[in-house]
Amino acid sequence: MTPATPAPLNRLREEWRKGRPTFGAIATIPSIQTVQIMARSGLDWIIVDLEHGPIDLGSAHAMITATAGTQCVPLARIAANEPWLAKAPMDIGALGINFPMICSRADAEKAVRSVRYPPRGDRLWGPFHAPFRWGVSMPEYMASADQDMICMVTIEHIEAVERIDEIMAVPGIDLAVIGPGDLATSIDKRGRIDDPEVQALMTRAEAGIMRSGIPIGGVARTAEQANQMIDRGYLALALGFDWSLFQRGISASLEGIKR
């Protein structure tokens, strides 16, 4: 008798398959309490930022664990497209890796193989703590690990836009997100994401991802922008960083108060 396929721990891929947009934020502050608040405030996912945030693996483990008891799925962004950087976040409970600077087919293939066990990939065995986060046994975790892990690639360089079709043709990519900040920086227009040339590159990247049929993600700075992106087919929208959401909340609280 063929054993039943285990139920996935990660609900995101099914949400995207049904065409339902999901919303998240990027956690850069090494704080359990901040993640607990974010995870209980309606977000579908949180990316623990190991690329730019001052977060070590011990803090990342605590932050991933802090999402327990909610519908919020913990993901992790790593500093470079290297399997050894992806390994530990997965083994402590993250259910997806956000790979930066994917600029070629080879980059995308490397990322895909980093998150899946042989024979589909090159992930090494050692998920000692992930099963405890998800309340399953080690065999149960292993049985659904490949389908649970999200491979999120970031298109954030002009070279990636030039090669968008070859990148998106790689099997195993679960989500492609457009990173406007680094995309602008790659053409010497850092901080100018509204520049027409940057916007044109984003449009080209968006079209390429849409052609592939792979779910697309991006950054929405306002509700109006988020709604426009949803209408265009975006399925994963980052609403901000923890620090920016915190800053916006304080500014909104002060607005209109006489000083």
Burial class, 65, CB count within 10 angstroms (exposed 0-12 / middle 13-18 / buried 19+): middle
Name the phi and psi angles at 230, rounded to 5: -60, -40
pLDDT tens digits, 176-216: 999 999 999 999 999 898 999 999 999 999 999 999 999 99
- Residues paired with 97 in a beta bridge: 76, 151
**What's 124's DSSP letter?**
P
Q: In this structure, are residues 75 and 96 in contact, taking their beta carbons and an 8 Å threshold? A: yes
Beta carbons within 8 Å of 203's beta carbon, 6+ residues apart: none
User: What CATH topology corresponds to 20-252?
Assistant: TIM Barrel (3.20.20)
- Count other Cβ atoms within 10 Å, centred on residue 134: 17
Burial class, 103, CB count within 10 angstroms (exposed 0-12 / middle 13-18 / buried 19+): buried
Which residue ranges make up each domain of the chain? Answer: 20-252
pLDDT tens digits, 153-164: 999 999 999 999
Amino acid 191: pLDDT? 87
Query: Model-level pTM?
Result: 0.94
C-alpha 102/C-alpha 26 separation (Å) is 19
Confidence of residue 256 (pLDDT cuts 50, 70, 90): confident
Chain-centre distance of CA 225, in angstroms? 19
